[in-house]
Amino acid sequence: MSEFSLIYTHFQHATAKHKNTILGIGDDCAISRIPPDCELVSCVDTLVAGRHFVFETSPHAIGYKSVAVNLSDLASMGATPYAILLGLSLPNHDNDWLKEFSRGIADICHQFNVELIGGDTTKSDILTISITALGFVKKGQAIRRDNAKIGDVICVSGRIGTASLALSYILGENGRCKHSNSINELSNHLKTALQYPTPQVALGQLLLDYANSMIDISDGLGQDLGHILKASGVGAKLYLENIPCIDELNDLPLDKKYQHIINGGDDYQLCFTMSQENFDKFTALYPNRIYPIGEIVANQGVDFFYQNQQVDFKIQGWEHF
């Protein structure tokens, strides 16, 4: 079962060769050198066709995004990506599909200097992609969820709600698009947000000396910020009008707009907290790079404000079942 030979030909020269790899694909296991001053950071994410992407998604985009969501998890710790292992279950051995899928994986791996060091291919009626990502972080430096401090500024790394809006335009029934051409009809920035999210790796590393807590926004800003709050035993005030978003969202009624922004998932921006002092230092060094959207308070839960008025809002992010 440990064989990967079927698609080995597609991947063998496809991803970056990393200096820390002693033995890559081709044996029972890969062997890797961990930098002596570093800890290993690891995570796994699984994508299922018709659930995490519509069936009409191109194999290139599926490959790219499958890696992106994992690198986003590494980014949220401030880690430097190193390698991935790929568990691929697919209905049939379609060479053209595999070629495009592996090209998507290769493109993002080259972009972030990541090597595919292990893989397993099995037949299954449903396309399922399970990727484990490995990265390094200097000893004791990783940014966790459980260290938000009262008084911290809550920030995000970019526009929120874009992927959710894009999905609302195309999603029909049973994991399929409304029309076969729905994805192509999206404007470019929506298509990119949905299919080619950029993991915020560089920013994650910049934040190592500044942020107290961090998470990536995969399940929705409300739900993911909620994980920081719960792990840290604190609460938050969110100033809705401060959350950056694309213009199309501003054209929607407020409740719809903030449904996408607070409850929509799949943006893969970072949400993080830091002291006001660090916020001032960071924004002086890197202007317009991060967006303050609220503050950490002692009272648990999230209070939402819109133009200085407290408003009711129900957090309900991505449902796993």
Give the SS3 label for residue 78: coil
**CB closer to a copy of itself, 197 vs 235:** 197
Neighbours of 43 (CB within 10 A): 18
Q: What separation, in Å, do the N-terminal and C-terminal C-alpha atoms of the chain show?
A: 29
- Please give the residues from 213 up to 272 whose contact with a copy of itself meets the rule CB under 8 A: 215-216, 218-219, 231, 265
Give the SS3 label for residue 67: helix
- Please give the residues from 133 up to 192 whose contact with a copy of itself meets the rule CB under 8 A: 134-135, 137, 142, 144-146
247: phi then psi, degrees, rounded to nearest 5 = -55, -40
- Helices 95-111 and 59-75 meet at what angle, rounded to 10? 30
Pick the binder of a copy of itself from 29, 171, 202, 285 (CB under 8 A). Answer: 29
Pick the binder of a copy of itself from 59, 104, 118, 235 (CB under 8 A). Answer: 118
**CB closer to a copy of itself, 158 vs 226:** 226
Residue with the two structure tokens 């303050």 = 292
Of 84, 73, 78, the closest CA to residue 132 belongs to: 84
For residue 318, state whether it binds a copy of itself (rule: CB under 8 A). Answer: yes
* 241 token code pair: 């009008």
- Please give the residues from 50 up to 89 whose contact with a copy of itself meets the rule CB under 8 A: 51-52, 69, 73-74, 76-77, 79, 83, 85-89
Give the total of residues touching a copy of itself (CB under 8 A).
73
Pick the binder of a copy of itself from 9, 19, 55, 93 (CB under 8 A). Answer: 93
Element (H, E) at 47: strand 38-48
Nearest-approach distance from CB 288 to a copy of itself, in angstroms: 25
Nearest-approach distance from CB 28 to a copy of itself, in angstroms: 4
